[in-house]
Structure 1
Amino acid sequence: MTRQFEPQKARAAAWFRALRDEILAAFMAIEDAHSAGPASDLAPGRFERTQTQRKSTHGEDAGGGCMNVMRGGRVFEKVGVNVSVVHGNLGARAQSAMAARGVPGMETDPRFWASGISLVAHMRNPNVPAVHMNTRMFWTPHAWWFGGGADLNPCIEYEDDTSHFHAALAAACDAHDPSYYGRFKSWADEYFFVPHRGRARGVGGIFFDDLNTGNWEADFAFVQSVGKAFLPAFLPLVERRRKTPWSDEDRDTQLVHRGLYAEYNLVYDRGTKFGLETGHDANAVLMSLPPLAKWV
């Protein structure tokens, strides 16, 4: 399996990079277009690109990625779009967690390869929802799978925004399997729940992991559809809300909600734990955290 999967690995990594480039261009176009309304007097935001490296426990090169972060934009207060390709041996904790999830061979062979894209956007205007999206491929000598999803995190909820976002994700799912949306929406509702607060961190979306139907091409096509659905799901919401005036009370609501988001990502998020435990660049792993937040 090691040699025969090299083409699939290369295709997946190339797709994640291509999706990254499309999203970066779309977000910068939004910044340029925001010439009227709140914060339009600011300079349009631009992405700062930083190459990241992962070092194994023995110090050898173990892959890395590219972190793209925009700070202080007109529309995006902070947004990160990262891609990575990492490989090596899983540490003992990550190896144990994978084995507990039923990954075959993980007890005796900790080798892995993973590639993906991860995006989190924290918006300047409290009326525009924050959003998260990621897709990834994971490989071991004994198994492969895909995972990812997207979820919307408004501090001021608009029902038509929520409906539009879910409809776009449902269409992407339905094109591949009519059972996917219901299953993956329920999974997101469970996964993005904050137990110590007794509430969800947002209005949901879809989440899936360990996706391996036995047909790599079909599963990769589905992951591509999820990625392609992101901009049509999110950009119309930005266009609807980016010129809406906001109050100091709205800003306060936003900052408190960001505190909830930070709590979830630091305490429960599986990707955060995996990235830190496997030695990936900490700044890239923690890119998801908001630029400002508060707690009451």
Structure 2
Amino acid sequence: MTNDLIQERDRASAWFRTLRDQIVAAFEDLEKTHATGPLSDQAPATFEVTETKRKSDDGSDAGGGLMSVMRGGRVFEKVGVNVSTVYGTLGERAQMAMAARKGIPGMKDDPRFWASGISLVAHMQNPHAPAVHMNTRMFWTPHAWWFGGGSDLNPCIEYDEDTAHFHATQKQHLDPHGEALYPELKAWADEYFFVPHRGRARGVGGIFMDDRCTDDWEADFALTQDIGKAFLPAYLPLVEKRRVQDWTDADKDAQLVHRGLYAEYNLVYDRGTKFGLETGHDANAVLMSLPPLAKWV
């Protein structure tokens, strides 16, 4: 492995940690500044941070990360912001899935991998405030490297102006990389975040990419960074606006039913969930995305 590649991987891992720190600080600030509206008389919550460890089959260290979860807050009912850097060898199931989906030859002969990324899911107290998901990541094998990630908005009560702001902010951050890119990643998100057995999307969309390798590492890394940089300006104003609204029992019921849809998607279709469990990462960290309460009708 060349020194350049090691430096590139280190830079990607460090960026995901920096983004994690920024988001955790911003979310805790939302809790602290919630001065009026529902639940504002409660104490603000803070993140509980747990170090995660991954072990290889022989018991040796295989990386890990930080699992940061905030529960029972004034604004956030449950939010997790995880960052990790893991490495080792892919198991047979993961090798076969990777080779089949990405067309990578030689995985069986050399199944080493390295992966780093940030993953976030927020479930809100107020049904008017939208749930959200975001992740960005870099993956490496001896045969290929690529970036992936994106973010999507998951309101149970939809507001057209919120959806418009979320998408416009993402477009603003992606346009410097080419004006054709945002429509492409938006369409990819519409396809990826679709729940086939329900015949509907899990939310109002966003952006998504995978297998991003143009052979220009700097350009692909810059794009991945801008996907992450778009998240807070796209999402924070929506929470600040909706956290003060009153809600009804019917609103809360709609939220719980929508969370059921979200849980179905993450357990049945989400690639990150499948990969995390297949490669032996901390199950609590992998399943952090699931809502604290949900309902099925």
Find the counterpart in structure 2 of residue 28 from structure 1. Answer: 28
> Residue type of the partner of 1:69?
V
* In structure 2, C-alpha distance between the alignment counterparts of 1:4 and 1:154, rounded to whole Å: 42
User: Is 2:138 the counterpart of 1:140?
Assistant: no
> Residue type of the partner of 2:174?
C
Under a length normalisation based on structure 2, what TM-score does the superposition of the two structures give?
0.98
User: Is 2:279 the counterpart of 1:266?
Assistant: no
User: Is 2:39 the counterpart of 1:43?
Assistant: no
Cα deviation per residue 1:148-174 (whole Å; 9 max; x = unaligned)? 000000000000000000011111111
Find the counterpart in structure 2 of residue 114 from structure 1. Answer: 115
- Return 181-190 or 154-163, whichever deviates more: 181-190
Check whether the contact 1:135–1:148 (CA below 8 A) recurs between aligned residues: yes
Secondary structure class of the residue paired with 2:26: helix
User: Is 2:11 the counterpart of 1:11?
Assistant: yes
> Residue type of the partner of 1:215?
D
User: Is 2:186 the counterpart of 1:204?
Assistant: no
Secondary structure class of the residue paired with 2:170: helix
> Residue type of the partner of 1:121?
A
Check whether the contact 1:81–1:118 (CA below 8 A) recurs between aligned residues: yes
Give the drift of 1:117. 0.3
Cα deviation per residue 1:48-106 (whole Å; 9 max; x = unaligned)? 00000111222221101100000000000000000000000011111111111212432
Check whether the contact 1:147–1:211 (CA below 8 A) recurs between aligned residues: yes
Q: How does 1:36-185 map to 2 (within 5 A)?
A: 36-100=36-100, 101-185=102-186
Find the counterpart in structure 1 of residue 189 from structure 2. Answer: 188
Give the drift of 1:108. 2.0
Secondary structure class of the residue paired with 1:167: helix
In structure 1, runs of 5+ residues without a counterpart are none
* In structure 2, C-alpha distance between the alignment counterparts of 1:103 and 1:237, rounded to whole Å: 41
* In structure 1, C-alpha distance between the alignment counterparts of 2:235 and 2:4, rounded to whole Å: 37
> Residue type of the partner of 2:163?
T
- Share of identical aligned residues, percent? 73
In structure 2, runs of 5+ residues without a counterpart are none
Secondary structure class of the residue paired with 1:175: helix
Give the drift of 1:3. 4.4
Check whether the contact 1:2–1:141 (CA below 8 A) recurs between aligned residues: no
Find the counterpart in structure 2 of residue 219 from structure 1. Answer: 220
Secondary structure class of the residue paired with 2:80: strand
> Residue type of the partner of 1:178?
E
Cα deviation per residue 1:122-163 (whole Å; 9 max; x = unaligned)? 000000000000000001112111000000000000000000
Secondary structure class of the residue paired with 1:44: coil
TM-aligned CA distance change 1:181 to 1:63, over 3 Å? same
Give the drift of 1:109. 1.2
* In structure 2, C-alpha distance between the alignment counterparts of 1:93 and 1:184, rounded to whole Å: 28
* In structure 1, C-alpha distance between the alignment counterparts of 2:256 and 2:201, rounded to whole Å: 16
> Residue type of the partner of 2:109?
T
* In structure 2, C-alpha distance between the alignment counterparts of 1:88 and 1:270, rounded to whole Å: 19
* In structure 1, C-alpha distance between the alignment counterparts of 2:57 and 2:193, rounded to whole Å: 31
> Residue type of the partner of 1:282?
A
> Residue type of the partner of 2:235?
F
* In structure 1, C-alpha distance between the alignment counterparts of 2:187 and 2:109, rounded to whole Å: 33
Find the counterpart in structure 2 of residue 280 from structure 1. Answer: 281
* In structure 2, C-alpha distance between the alignment counterparts of 1:194 and 1:57, rounded to whole Å: 34
Check whether the contact 1:56–1:88 (CA below 8 A) recurs between aligned residues: yes
* In structure 1, C-alpha distance between the alignment counterparts of 2:176 and 2:159, rounded to whole Å: 27
Under a length normalisation based on structure 1, what TM-score does the superposition of the two structures give?
0.98
